Amino acid sequence: MSLFQELGLSEPLIRATVEMGFEETTPIQERAIPLVLSGRDVMGQAQTGTGKTAAFGIPMLEKIERNRENIQGLVVTPTRELAVQVAEELNTLGRFKGVRALPIYGGQDMGRQIKSLKGRPRIIVATPGRLMDHMRRRTIRLQQVSMVVLDEADEMLNMGFIGDIETILREVPVERQTLLFSATMPKPIQDLAKNYMQEPEFISIRPKELTVPNTQQYYVQVQERQKFDILCRLLDMQPPELALVFGRTKRRVDELYEALGKRGYAAEALHGDLTQAKRDSVMQNFRRGSTEILVATDVAARGLDISGISHVYNFDIPQDPESYVHRIGRTGRLGKPGLAITFVTPREMGHLRHIEDITRRKILPRSLPSADEAMESQQRLAGERMIEAAGEGDLPLYRDLAREMLKSRDAVTLVAAALKLLTRESREITVQLTEEAPLSPKRFWTDKRRAPEPRRGRGGFKGDRHYQKKANSSKGHKKY
């Protein structure tokens, strides 16, 4: 890897990288930064957590002219969480140069955003819908933009934003530099690049498998009605540092969050119906560890960049390989091990096999844990905690009470009682979740050599329209 000092950056940006603890470039940074600095259009294929924000942010900041008060850089992201995250990193990288990035997203007061725009930020980081609102109001003008970044383009495709992206790009000067970053490169993304980029240099940063190599991947074949008890047993057998649990719908996420709480787990929900203040509160609790489990929909979890997530549970199998890649990319980061477990009903095994084909990674089966196995693990962990506490030696305040207790009970009985309290048997509370219908077979299984066509249908296979009509009417297929 290269050192940032070897890239020919200006002193303010070198200083920022040092302050942020950056030493060596990541692979995407090493290849992208020189190309962007030279003025080339770039398509970068890289997973989340690989340092791609700095890969486009550093050269963008280097090219910004402080004496020009217009918007010169534009970053378009699929979600407000990612917009905020990218803007924060750009502001940290650009603070010594005095260049500011402003996040623009839906859910925030329009008047407040207009007031912030009067501060003349040089970079805008925006979600498509709110950006177009400002364009219609003429509160954001893109005539002086010299660099555009489309971040997580495949997710914008999945969310139906491609038409908006094309509208935005038509408002930006033709003489511009365009960068596109995506975890996957389906055909509509390639078409977008062909139509709106000038001879882009393609960079692919990925291991032999498409998914994160540090993440162990398993599946459990389970009936829908068994899922929740199996999830609880897995959580008991291997308690996570921080865990993400993905549900298919907002209803599913709310029910899961409430059910986990009833059984004593510190869980919170994240989906599109939450207010911005509630979302911020949920994320703050999760980052500091007061919440150990975050239950989320795919869309709500986009843009999350939280270190320390040890486990990802796909309570509902994702609808396509791209979503699978994005989900499990939340763990196994920065060289740390991660664990991803996907729940699959018997009728959904074909979806799992297709995910394996596209990601080029075998997902290993895992046996269903029994209630007895979960209890034994809980008892073992409780015993380890007691032995660890005994080894710390900070027990004088408890010794007198222990001696008194030993006068009426034998030591084995007292230790057994302590273990019982630590294993939290109250988790056996019965919980009933609304069942979700399994995913219907998808039309792209007929040709596993091809990456799946996008759900919104450009180019597809014969029978696409019939599939789309049927899928849209199927219970459990609506994406939240």
pLDDT of residue 374: 67
pTM of structure: 0.53
Angle between helices 52-63 and 11-19 (to 10 degrees): 150
Residue 303 CA to residue 52 CA, distance in Å, equals 12
Residues in the chain: 480
Q: Compute φ and ψ for 105, nearest 5 degrees.
A: -155, 160
Vertex 46: Cα angle to 195 and 281 (nearest 5): 105
Measure the CA angle with vertex 272, ends 282 and 287; round to 5°.
20
Query: How far is it, in rounded angstroms, from Cα 271 to Cα 281?
Result: 13
Side-chain half-sphere of 309: how many Cα atoms within 13 Å? 27
Residue 92 identity (one-letter amino acid): T
The residue with tokens 């008892």 is 379
CA distance 213 to 208: 9
Domains and CATH numbers, the chain: 4-205 (3.40.50.300), 215-369+431-440 (3.40.50.300)
pLDDT tens readout for residues 60-79: 999 999 889 899 999 999 98
What residue has token string 């019939």?
A: 466
pLDDT at residue 426, as a whole number = 45
The predicted pLDDT at position 49 comes to: 62
Cα Dmax for the chain: 87
For tokens 């859910």, the residue is 107
Mean pLDDT rounded to a whole number for the chain: 82
- Give the model's pLDDT for residue 441: 55
- Residue 341: name the closest of 266, 230, 223 by CA: 230
Pairing relationship of beta strands 123-126 and 147-151 according to DSSP bridges: unpaired
350, two tokens: 């074909």
* Structure token pair of residue 40: 């080339």
- What value, to the nearest 5°, has the Cα angle with vertex 344 and ends 340 and 345? 165
CA 408, CA 76: separation in Å to the nearest integer?
69
Handedness of CA 109, 110, 111, 117 (dihedral sign): positive
Q: Which residues contact 370 (CB under 8 A, 6 or more apart)?
A: 233
Tokens 């047993």 label which residue?
Answer: 233
Spatial distance between the Cα atoms of 420 and 410, rounded to a whole number of angstroms: 16
Please compute, for residue 41, the number of CA atoms within 13 A of its CA located in the half-sphere on the CB side. Answer: 18
DSSP assignment, residue 438?
Answer: P
pLDDT, position 198: 94
Strands lying side by side in the sheet with 293-296 = 267-270, 293-296, 243-246, 311-314, 338-344, 215-221, 364-365
- pLDDT recorded at residue 444: 36
Q: CA 208 to CA 94: how far, in whole Å?
A: 34
Q: Which residues of the chain have pLDDT under 70?
A: 1-2, 23, 47-49, 206-212, 302-305, 334-335, 374, 377-378, 382, 384, 424-428, 440-480
Q: For position 424, what pLDDT does the model report? A: 59
